[in-house]
């Protein structure tokens, strides 16, 4: 199946994805960079800021996560942040060049009593002229609608890993639960941010399977974070074997080829990467990064390091203006949703 979105494919087979992963490295990088240049300015990176609005004490059992209440980690638990504090942080993020402000809460799902606060946050951040993104766990249809009405642009909900490896990593929610949340987000009219984590002790085939899941979503997620596991003491994955850097770079390149119009985000794990590794990831097609929330409260040498790297590489950051289009993207998303609905109808009829 090929969607009308400029021949974006949603019918990737595992064999095809594995074939991409197994290409000679230089061929893979060349193909990824070629695809990247067809759809993006190759020297531009989008910058988001991530703020944790509620930290720790999460009832879920994601085996990589410092915020799960089930593991003994050094995390400082924090209640849901006040709306004013969130808006102050958003203002600072904007001043530092971020175009998107992502707010994350360590919840299984938001409770009804939380919704008035999070929707206020969305309205306030939106009023500052920033794109808004949230990650709050699973969402019902109604909650997705409330967030969309408040002005939420993106909702992040990662698939994390392949369906095959999933049970090794999380047991408190199913893969289908995740797909259902993504469906609710999409149906409410918001953009989807969904990716995964590599280095979870998965096999190469699992990385291919995860990317096939993401690319075969219709429409594909607009934003695809690819995270390198950050091993946290106290979590069950603290001692998992290291992933080879080239396997990570290949993952970025294959994501770029399969999801040519998506922003591929170099996410968690970037702090541990040297400049050369990050540069290879940009060459492979990564075009979005996070500035961490710590930069909001303290002088942040890492921010300076990012700026220095961008200068060395001649990379500019995307501006809000460059993100504003003539509504074409929205129309394409709507067309793809209708196409998907038609497909489902035909399938059911059969």
CA 275-276-279 angle, 5° bins? 85
Q: Does 65 bind ligand SF4 (CB under 6 A)?
A: yes
- What gap in Å lies between CA 191 and CA 134, rounded to an integer? 11
Q: Cβ 46 to ligand SF4, closest distance in Å?
A: 23
Confirm whether 251 is a catalytic residue: no
196 binds ligand SF4 (CB under 6 A): no
Half-sphere exposure of 117 (CA within 13 A, CB side): 18
The residues in 104-133 that bind ligand SF4, with binding defined as CB under 6 A, are 106
| Active site annotation includes 102 | yes
Tokens 């929205």 belong to residue: 330
Please report which helix (H) or strand (E) contains residue 267, including its range.
none
* In the chain, beta strands by DSSP E: 44-54, 100-105, 131-135, 154-156, 191-193, 196-198, 223-228, 263-266, 288-291, 316-317
Using CA atoms, how far apart are residues 203 and 279, in angstroms rounded to an integer? 25
Is residue 133 among the annotated active site residues? yes
Contacts of 292 (CB under 8 A, 6+ apart): 49, 50, 271, 300, 302
Could you give the CA distance from residue 95 to residue 213 in angstroms, rounded to a whole number? Answer: 36
Task: Give how many residues touch ligand SF4 by CB under 6 A.
Answer: 8
C-beta closer to ligand SF4: residue 171 or 276: 171
If the CB atoms of residues 67 and 267 are measured against ligand SF4, the closer one turns out to be 67
Contact between 62 and ligand SF4 by CB under 6 A: the answer reads yes
Q: Is 68 in the site for ligand SF4 (CB under 6 A)?
A: yes
Q: Is 281 annotated in the active site?
A: no
* Among residues 3, 67, 99, 227, the one that binds ligand SF4 under rule CB under 6 A: 67
Return the range that interacts with ligand SF4 (CB under 6 A); candidates 58-66, 89-97, 183-191, 260-268: 58-66
CB 154 to ligand SF4: min, Å? 17
Quickly tell me which residue has 């993006």 as its tokens: 40
Query: Which residues form the interface with ligand SF4 (CB under 6 A)?
Result: 58, 60, 62, 65, 67-68, 106, 137
Annotated catalytic residues are 58, 62, 65, 102, 133, 193, 265
Binding-site residue positions? 58, 62, 65, 102, 133, 193, 265
């Amino acid at each position: 199946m090929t969607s009308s979105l400029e021949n974006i494919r949603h019918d990737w087979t595992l064999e095809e994805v594995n074939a991409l992963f197994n290409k000679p490295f230089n061929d893979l990088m060349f193909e990824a960079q070629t695809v990247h240049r067809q759809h993006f300015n190759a020297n531009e990176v989008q910058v988001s800021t991530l703020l944790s609005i509620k930290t720790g004490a999460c009832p879920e059992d994601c085996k990589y996560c410092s915020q799960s209440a089930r593991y003994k980690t050094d995390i400082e638990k924090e209640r849901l942040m006040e709306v004013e504090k969130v808006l102050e942080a958003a203002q600072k993020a904007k001043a530092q060049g971020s175009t998107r402000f992502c707010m994350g809460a360590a919840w299984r799902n938001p409770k009804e009593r939380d919704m008035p606060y999070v929707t206020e946050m969305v309205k306030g951040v939106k009023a500052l002229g920033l794109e808004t993104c949230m990650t709050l766990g699973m969402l019902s249809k109604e909650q997705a609608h409330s967030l969309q009405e408040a002005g939420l642009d993106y909702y992040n909900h990662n698939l994390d890993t392949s369906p095959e490896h999933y049970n090794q990593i999380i047991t408190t929610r199913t893969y289908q639960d995740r797909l259902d949340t993504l469906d609710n987000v999409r149906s409410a009219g918001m953009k989807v941010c969904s990716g995964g984590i590599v280095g979870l002790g998965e096999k190469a085939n699992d990385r291919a399977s995860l990317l096939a899941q993401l690319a075969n979503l219709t429409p594909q997620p607009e934003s695809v974070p690819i995270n390198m596991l950050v091993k946290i003491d106290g979590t069950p994955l603290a001692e998992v074997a290291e992933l080879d850097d080239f396997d990570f770079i290949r993952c970025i390149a294959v994501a770029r080829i399969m999801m040519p119009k998506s922003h591929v985000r170099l996410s968690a794990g970037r702090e541990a990467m040297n400049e050369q590794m990050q540069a290879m990831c940009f060459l492979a097609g990564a075009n979005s990064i996070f500035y961490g929330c710590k930069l909001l409260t303290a002088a942040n040498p890492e921010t300076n390091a990012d700026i220095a790297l961008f200068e060395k590489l001649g990379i500019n950051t995307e501006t809000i203006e460059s993100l504003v289009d003539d509504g074409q993207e929205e129309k394409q998303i709507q067309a793809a949703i209708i196409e998907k609905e038609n497909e489902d109808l035909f399938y059911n009829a059969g």
